[in-house]
Amino acid sequence: MPSQTDQPNDRQAERVLTALDRFQIETPSWAYADTGTRFGKFTQPAAAIDLNDKLADAGQVHRLTGCCPTVAVHVLWDFPEGSDPNRAMKQAEQCGVSIGSINPNVFQNQCYKLGSFGNPDAEVRQAAIRHCMDSIELAQQVGSRCISPWFADGTNYPGQDNIRSRKRRFTEGLQELHQHLTDDQILLVEYKPFEPAFYQTDIADWGMAFLLAKSAGPQARVLVDTGHHYLTQNIEQIVAWLLDEQMLGGFHFNDRRYADDDLTLGSIDPYQVFRIFHEIHSYAFDHDGESPEIAYMVDQSHNLKPKLEAMIQTVMVAQELYAKAALVDHAVLSVYQTMGDIVAAERLLQRAFMTDVTDTIVSWRRQRDLPDDPLEALRASGYVEQASQERSERRRALGIQQSSSYA
């Protein structure tokens, strides 16, 4: 078995550099603000107060990593009533980024107690659809391609509602949304096996998301959140199937130890992330090097780690694992698979995973005048300390309380 100190040869290094050139990751606005669990949250003085702060933080991440040019936004959280989308676009441009995927919010308002698109009340369903249509229009105004709704819909008790009827309501609602997409927009259908619904979740797995996306129309795809699976789920198999059906639209990157998903990427099982990336590289190999069009996005809530450090850590780990997966020689792997040489095939993947790609990634960064270690560069920059001081003063002026003592 090779050691972690193995280095890529020249041909492998070139593959890594090419892979990194096309690997871009979208960071989420909400990860820069004070967020937490349903039990509470631990505040940070450097946390963003408003969209301007979020865009500034995202711009800092992009300046240091060179691969995070867009910012996902949440409509209700980032664009309250009366907001000017053009102003947000200009602010993003000033920060060196642009507005990315638009995330509607159909789980927060009181009317969604029994669901949004699956709600038995037609008026509530129409309210949810109107909000999503407004989100599509917002996306068109800011030049965003992806509409990425997540639905908390489901039921808590047997008999609470008709499951088949809820499926049909979702189908009709998504079809209505699809009709309002422009030719270059896509609708990403996300799934989650449970929480907050205790009995059944309306879009509980990739198969349900696949069927709903297929029914919605040709511009609908499935979004895979790496944390939204049971512990024994083979996520790379799901990715492979969706790739083969040309229905993989995007990812939400995170990790999880048990059920929910807000840990930084690769903190628990980096080999799983590597295997997912391997399937994507394998697909490209089988299609003459043409990479699938996938929206790579982060979805995390940094409740304990410093927010910018956690984001940059996730991005660096994603780059490293994507680069390692690019080392796999798919032509040789195909020979081993045809021969039925299981050990050699597995060792080929293990060898790529254990190869140290640090120097190659540093070379890629130097070619782009980026710091060798973006995380260390952030710590040395004083950005977080300055943001903490400025935002603490602004909170005091605005009368915003941040808990800092025992109750």
Place of tokens 């909400």: 30
Write out the two tokens for 31: 């990860």
Which of 98, 111, 193, 192 lies closest to 146 in space, CA to CA?
98
- Is 120:63 a contact under the CB 8 Å cutoff? no
Question: Position of tokens 């043409």?
Answer: 290
C-beta separation of 301 from 256 below 8 A: no
In this prediction, the residues of the chain whose per-residue pLDDT falls under 70 are: 1-5, 403-407
Give CA separation, 209 vs 53, 101, 261, in Å.
34, 18, 18
Q: CA-CA distance, 46 to 387, in Å (whole number)?
A: 5
pTM for the complete prediction? 0.95
Closest CA to 190 of 128, 248, 118: 248
Place of tokens 């990315």: 100
Bond before 218 cis per omega within 30 degrees: no
pLDDT of residue 35: 83
Identify the structural domains of the chain with CATH numbers, from first to last.
10-398 (3.20.20.150)
Note the pLDDT of residue 403: 63
Residue with tokens 């409740």: 303
Which is nearest to 31 in space by CA: 385, 374, 314, 394? 314
Cβ of 330: how many Cβ atoms within 10 Å? 16
> What's the pLDDT score for residue 219?
98
The pairing of strands 27-28 and 70-74 is parallel
The pLDDT of residue 388 is 97
Closest CA to 308 of 61, 34, 38, 54: 61
